[in-house]
């Protein structure tokens, strides 16, 4: 176990963190902005993977699938928004959780009907299917691509949220939606835009993850729990919270698996419990 | 007077005529997962079973009732109860998950309704917890991996690192492999069990396996886990050769693994490329019927059907007589020569060592070696 071993594991942790980030940022912003608990977010991730595989199978082009899949998922998200989510906005968290949890199973069975029960795979594009050697290790290029993708999304979101007018509008609406509305911000339309953007990121995470993890009908439910943990640990509604949360969980799960395999499954939940007891609002909540 | 007699004869004939099919009828309950993690396996087993019955032209003889067990032990038990108490089936066929089998075991044993196990490989079911009413036509976890441990040690592999999911089947597969491998002179340098159903990223474990310096990696993964594992093994370009329980590169999903599966060496009780007349006929008929290659799961369903019909032919008419006839079943099927070991009620069968290779643009199985008639020890089984 030399330095290159640790570097390899750090990259593994980064790669997992970035996938968690792509999922949790959408969830947390929708959560923080709309006070809406959208558990079906994880199903959109699954749909992203399946649509990516289908588009790629039909056209033979990975990058086209990579572009189209988030768009298809966004359209599905928009349909959900107008049929269910918008109506459920005022219904209180318990009803929202029940409806969106039910939605997970509806989407799961629709996927089973459409794509079958057998796990499907997606080949990484040829230009990323080799390994890259540096500093004494060789690492799959596709995983480096995911790390880069996560970092690009992270930085551009920070720039948009902190340095642009729409970012200021979103932050204002998270802080106090009524006040923002009375200042002339069209909060309803803003909500819809943010919701669509969150869906697109979920679809993007799905199609990006498909070449590494196969697409299965259970992939949505299995990723939902770590994603919720990231959101709760990081703090609802904040970009910094999602970044911190996904890095903590990504590194904790990876190094837990390497160093304390028998404990790794418990470590995350111990951390979650500790955060809920000592800092229930999360490490970096949106509102102070 | 004459006409009355004639009428009586006609009525008597009618009565016999009506009675005949009812006498031959056998009620079969299929207890398989059609939703959840194992749905694909449940469907594959059902396909094989139906094909066996239809091929023999005996679908009129068997009334088949299907029940979905999901992958949940309590659901499996409830469905078994329903089939026995309400539908009054003569025999049950199925069970994919070892957990479901464990939950059903005592009920089946006490209800004295035979269960033909068509997948679940739990060693205990034909070991310590064996029952005259539980007959297994699929495999036991030990049966597939023990021969591979010996084979690898005898074929020049001196050290291994093992990986498997952290649940009973994972532990049984690896411990029987490791015991045989060590007994034949090999050494296990390291071993890890990954959280069951949650591990998606095997990168950290693969790095550990590589760092151990072992000559080979031996793993058990099935379904989605197998696809992830093989693809990730391939993407890291690891030089340590990969061996495994044959479920790792099952024909059911090897296509999803792609080129990463090439060169993986594994052991299994069936591969569709066996060059025997029985298997060639089976594969051809299966392709004609379903349009896909059969997998080990389809064969297990097929053999469950053949075993059931053989038991009925040997005088099995109700639960008791079918249970008594099943252990006497033996025939040559797609897998090769099969028999039920009456000491454990587990199947005795060949284990095949095979490589996954690319041929004409598709992944297929290349037979490397055959270990004949692998029989499980009577591990504490008392009938």
In DSSP notation, B76-111 reads: HHHHHHIIIIIS--SEEEE---HHHHHHHHHHHHHH
Q: Is the pLDDT of residue A288 over 50?
A: no
Q: Using an 8 Å CB-CB cutoff, list chain B residues near A132.
A: none
d(CA A226, CA A238): 17
Residues 6+ apart with CB under 8 A from B125: B98, B101, B102, B105, B117, B134, B136, B140
Q: Using an 8 Å CB-CB cutoff, list chain A residues near B257.
A: 121
Q: Give the side-chain half-sphere CA count within 13 A for B46.
A: 17
Q: Using an 8 Å CB-CB cutoff, list chain A residues near B201.
A: 12, 15-16, 212-213, 254
Chain A: give the shortest CA distance to residue B40, in Å. 5
Q: Using an 8 Å CB-CB cutoff, list chain A residues near B227.
A: 119, 121, 214
d(CA A216, CA A213): 9
Minimal Cβ distance to A119: which of B204, B224, B235:
B224
Please indicate whether, in this complex, the C-beta atoms of A258 and B235 are within 8 angstroms of each other: no
Quote the pLDDT of residue B3: 53
- Residue A254 sits at the chain B interface (C-beta within 8 Å): yes
The strand ranges marked E within B129-226 are: 134-136, 159-165, 187-194, 216-219
- Residue A251 sits at the chain B interface (C-beta within 8 Å): no
Instruction: List, in sequence order, every residue forming a beta bridge with B136; answer none if it has no partner.
Output: B117, B346
Give per-residue pLDDT as tens, A115-128. Answer: 988 888 888 888 88
Give per-residue pLDDT as tens, B110-133. Answer: 999 999 999 999 998 899 899 999
DSSP 8-state assignment for residue A120: B
Minimal Cβ distance to A258: which of B208, B231, B253:
B208
Q: Is the pLDDT of residue B5 over 60?
A: no
Chain B: give the shortest CA distance to residue A54, in Å. 13
Percent of chain B whose pLDDT exceeds 90: 69
Q: Answer for the pair A229, A205: CB distance below 8 angstroms, yes or no.
A: no
Q: Helix (H) and strand (E) counts for chain B?
A: 12, 14
Nearest to A57 by CA among A13, A122, A129, A117: A122
Minimal Cβ distance to B228: which of A8, A214, A223:
A214
Please indicate whether, in this complex, the C-beta atoms of A118 and B200 are within 8 angstroms of each other: no
Residue A285: strand, helix, or coil: coil
d(CA A23, CA A5): 28
Q: Give the side-chain half-sphere CA count within 13 A for A250.
A: 26
Chain A: give the shortest CA distance to residue B236, in Å. 5
Please indicate whether, in this complex, the C-beta atoms of B235 and A15 are within 8 angstroms of each other: no
Please indicate whether, in this complex, the C-beta atoms of B235 and A117 are within 8 angstroms of each other: no
Give per-residue pLDDT as tens, A144-174. Answer: 999 999 999 999 999 998 899 988 888 888 7
Q: Using an 8 Å CB-CB cutoff, list chain B residues near A138.
A: 236-237
Q: At B21, is the pLDDT very low, low, confident or very high (cuts 50, 70, 90)?
A: very low
Please indicate whether, in this complex, the C-beta atoms of B235 and A118 are within 8 angstroms of each other: no
Q: What is the CA radius of gyration of chain A?
A: 19
Domains of chain A with bracketed CATH:
8-116+137-278 (1.10.3470)
Cα angle, residue B66 at apex, residues B294 and B112 outer, rounded to 5°: 105
The token pair that represents A247 in the structure block: 């890095």
d(CA A16, CA A252): 10
Give per-residue pLDDT as tens, B333-357. Answer: 999 999 999 999 999 999 999 999 9
d(CA B223, CA A116): 13
Quote the pLDDT of residue B15: 45
The token pair that represents A198 in the structure block: 């969150």
Q: Answer for the pair B141, B169: CB distance below 8 angstroms, yes or no.
A: yes
The token pair that represents B349 in the structure block: 């069968």
Nearest CA in chain B to A250: B201
Minimal Cβ distance to B236: which of A9, A131, A255:
A131
Nearest to A245 by CA among A7, A16, A84, A10: A16
Cα A109 to chain centroid distance, Å, stands at 21
- Say if domain B17-139+275-349 classifies as CATH 1.10.10.10: no
Which of residues A188 and A208 earns the better pLDDT score?
Answer: A208
d(CA A67, CA A203): 10
Q: Using an 8 Å CB-CB cutoff, list chain B residues near A143.
A: 203, 235
Phi, psi of B338 (to 5 degrees): -125, 145
Give per-residue pLDDT as tens, A58-114. Answer: 998 999 999 999 999 999 999 999 998 888 888 888 898 999 999 999 999 999 889
Crossing angle for the helix pair A239-259 and B203-211, nearest 10 degrees?
30
DSSP 8-state assignment for residue B220: -
Minimal Cβ distance to A214: which of B43, B193, B256:
B256
Nearest to A142 by CA among A122, A159, A156: A122
Q: Using an 8 Å CB-CB cutoff, list chain B residues near A123.
A: 258
Q: Where in chain B is the domain with CATH 3.40.50.2300?
A: 17-139+275-349, 142-268
The token pair that represents B263 in the structure block: 């060169």
Residues 6+ apart with CB under 8 A from B9: none
Give per-residue pLDDT as tens, B267-310. Answer: 999 999 999 999 999 999 999 999 989 999 999 999 999 999 99
Minimal Cβ distance to B256: which of A1, A119, A124:
A119
Give the CA-trace dihedral at B330, B332, B337, B338, to 10 degrees: -40
B164: left (phi over 0), alpha (psi -120 to 50) or beta: beta
Nearest CA in chain A to B237: A131
Give per-residue pLDDT as tens, A200-220. Answer: 999 999 999 999 888 888 888
Minimal Cβ distance to A1: which of B201, B211, B236:
B211
Q: For chain B, give the mean pLDDT.
A: 89
Q: Answer for the pair B344, B256: CB distance below 8 angstroms, yes or no.
A: no
Nearest CA in chain B to A124: B235
Please indicate whether, in this complex, the C-beta atoms of A131 and B204 are within 8 angstroms of each other: no
Q: Using an 8 Å CB-CB cutoff, list chain B residues near A8.
A: 203, 207
CATH number of B142-268: 3.40.50.2300
d(CA B269, CA B300): 10
d(CA A224, CA A213): 15
Nearest to A145 by CA among A2, A22, A270: A22
Q: Answer for the pair A194, A41: CB distance below 8 angstroms, yes or no.
A: no
The token pair that represents B285 in the structure block: 């008929």
DSSP 8-state assignment for residue B260: G
Q: Answer for the pair A20, A250: CB distance below 8 angstroms, yes or no.
A: yes
Give per-residue pLDDT as tens, B146-196. Answer: 999 999 999 999 999 999 998 888 999 999 999 999 999 999 999 999 888
Q: Is the pLDDT of residue A37 over 70?
A: yes
Nearest CA in chain B to A215: B224
Nearest to A264 by CA among A280, A276, A252: A252
Q: Is the pLDDT of residue A281 over 90?
A: no
ipTM attached to this prediction: 0.79
What's the mean pLDDT in A11-38?
A: 88
Give per-residue pLDDT as tens, B56-88. Answer: 999 899 999 999 998 889 999 999 999 999 999
d(CA A117, CA B93): 21
Residue B348: strand, helix, or coil: strand
DSSP 8-state assignment for residue B213: T
DSSP 8-state assignment for residue B361: T
Size of the A and B interface in Cβ pairs below 8 Å: 99
d(CA B113, CA B91): 6
d(CA B271, CA B257): 17
Q: At A136, is the pLDDT very low, low, confident or very high (cuts 50, 70, 90)?
A: confident
The token pair that represents B18 in the structure block: 């009506």
Q: Using an 8 Å CB-CB cutoff, list chain B residues near A142.
A: 235
Burial B42-59 (b: 16+ CB within 10 A, else e): bbbbbbbbbbbbebeebe
The token pair that represents A152 in the structure block: 């690009």
The token pair that represents B374 in the structure block: 């692998």
Nearest CA in chain A to B212: A1
Q: At B12, is the pLDDT very low, low, confident or very high (cuts 50, 70, 90)?
A: very low
Please indicate whether, in this complex, the C-beta atoms of A143 and B253 are within 8 angstroms of each other: no
Give per-residue pLDDT as tens, A230-252. Answer: 999 998 888 889 999 999 999 99
Element (H, E) at A195: helix A187-209
Nearest to B323 by CA among B111, B123, B143, B138: B111
The token pair that represents B368 in the structure block: 């490397």
Nearest to B30 by CA among B56, B69, B58, B61: B69
Interface test with A, best of B34, B161, B201 (most A CBs within 10 A): B201
Give per-residue pLDDT as tens, B298-316. Answer: 999 999 999 999 999 998 8
Nearest CA in chain A to B239: A138
Q: Using an 8 Å CB-CB cutoff, list chain A residues near B211.
A: 1, 5
Minimal Cβ distance to A140: which of B43, B205, B236:
B236
């Amino acid at each position: 176990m030399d330095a290159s071993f640790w570097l390899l594991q750090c990259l593994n942790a980064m790669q997992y963190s970035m996938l968690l980030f792509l999922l949790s940022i959408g969830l947390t912003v929708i959560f923080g902005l709309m006070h809406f608990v959208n558990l079906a977010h994880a199903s959109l991730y699954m749909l992203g993977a399946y649509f990516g595989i289908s588009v790629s199978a039909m056209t033979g082009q990975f990058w086209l699938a990579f572009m189209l899949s988030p768009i298809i998922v966004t359209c599905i998200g928009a349909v959900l928004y107008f049929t269910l989510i918008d109506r459920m906005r005022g219904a209180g968290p318990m009803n929202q959780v029940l409806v969106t949890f039910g939605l997970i199973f509806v989407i799961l069975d629709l996927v089973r009907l459409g794509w079958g029960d057998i796990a499907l795979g997606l080949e990484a594009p040829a230009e990323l299917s080799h390994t890259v050697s540096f500093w004494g290790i060789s690492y799959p290029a596709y995983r480096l691509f995911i790390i880069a993708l996560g970092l690009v999304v992270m930085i551009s979101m920070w720039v948009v949220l902190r340095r642009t007018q729409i970012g200021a509008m979103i932050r204002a609406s998270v802080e106090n939606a009524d006040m923002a509305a009375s200042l002339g911000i069209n909060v309803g339309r803003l909500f819809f835009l943010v919701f669509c953007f969150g869906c697109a990121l979920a679809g993007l995470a799905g199609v990006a993850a498909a070449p590494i993890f196969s697409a299965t009908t259970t992939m949505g439910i299995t990723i939902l729990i770590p994603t919720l943990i990231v959101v709760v640990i990081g703090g609802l509604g904040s970009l910094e919270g999602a970044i911190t949360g996904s890095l903590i969980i990504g590194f904790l799960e990876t190094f837990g698996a390497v160093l304390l395999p028998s404990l790794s499954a418990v470590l995350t939940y111990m951390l979650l419990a500790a955060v809920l007891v000592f800092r229930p609002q999360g490490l970096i909540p949106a509102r102070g | 007077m004459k006409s009355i007699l004639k009428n009586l004869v006609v009525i008597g004939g009618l009565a016999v005529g009506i009675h005949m099919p009812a006498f031959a009828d056998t009620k079969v309950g299929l207890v398989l997962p059609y939703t959840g993690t194992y749905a694909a396996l449940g469907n594959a087993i059902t396909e094989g079973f139906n094909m066996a019955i239809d091929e023999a032209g005996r679908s009129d003889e068997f009334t088949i009732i299907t029940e979905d067990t999901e992958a949940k032990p309590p659901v499996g038990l409830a469905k078994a109860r329903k089939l026995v108490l309400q539908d009054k089936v003569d025999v049950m066929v199925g069970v994919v998950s070892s957990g479901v089998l464990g939950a059903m075991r005592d009920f089946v044993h006490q209800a004295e309704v035979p269960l033909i196990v068509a997948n679940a490989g739990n060693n205990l079911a034909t070991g310590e917890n064996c029952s005259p009413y539980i007959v297994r036509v699929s495999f036991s976890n030990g049966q597939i991996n023990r021969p591979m441990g010996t084979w690898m040690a005898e074929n020049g592999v001196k050290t291994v690192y093992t990986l498997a999911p952290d649940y009973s089947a994972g532990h049984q597969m690896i411990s029987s492999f490791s015991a045989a491998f060590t007994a034949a002179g090999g050494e296990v340098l390291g071993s890890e069990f990954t959280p069951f159903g949650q591990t998606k990223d095997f990168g950290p474990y693969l790095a550990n396996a590589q760092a151990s310096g072992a000559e080979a990696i031996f793993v058990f993964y099935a379904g989605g886990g197998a696809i992830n594992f093989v693809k990730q093994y391939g993407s890291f370009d690891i030089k340590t050769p990969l061996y495994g329980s044959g479920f790792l590169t099952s024909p059911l999903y090897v296509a999803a693994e792609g080129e990463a599966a090439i060169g993986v060496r594994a052991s299994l009780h069936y591969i569709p490329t066996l060059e025997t007349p029985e298997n060639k006929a089976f594969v051809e008929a299966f392709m004609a019927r379903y349009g896909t290659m059969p997998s080990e799961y389809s064969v297990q369903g097929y053999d469950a059907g053949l075993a059931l019909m053989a038991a009925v032919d040997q005088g099995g008419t109700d639960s008791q007589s079918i249970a008594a006839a099943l252990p006497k079943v033996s025939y040559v099927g797609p897998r090769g020569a099969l028999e039920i070991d009456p000491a454990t009620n587990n199947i005795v069968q060949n284990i095949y060592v095979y490589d996954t290779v690319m041929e004409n643009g598709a992944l297929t199985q290349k037979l490397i070696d055959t270990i004949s008639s692998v029989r499980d020890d009577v591990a504490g089984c008392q009938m």
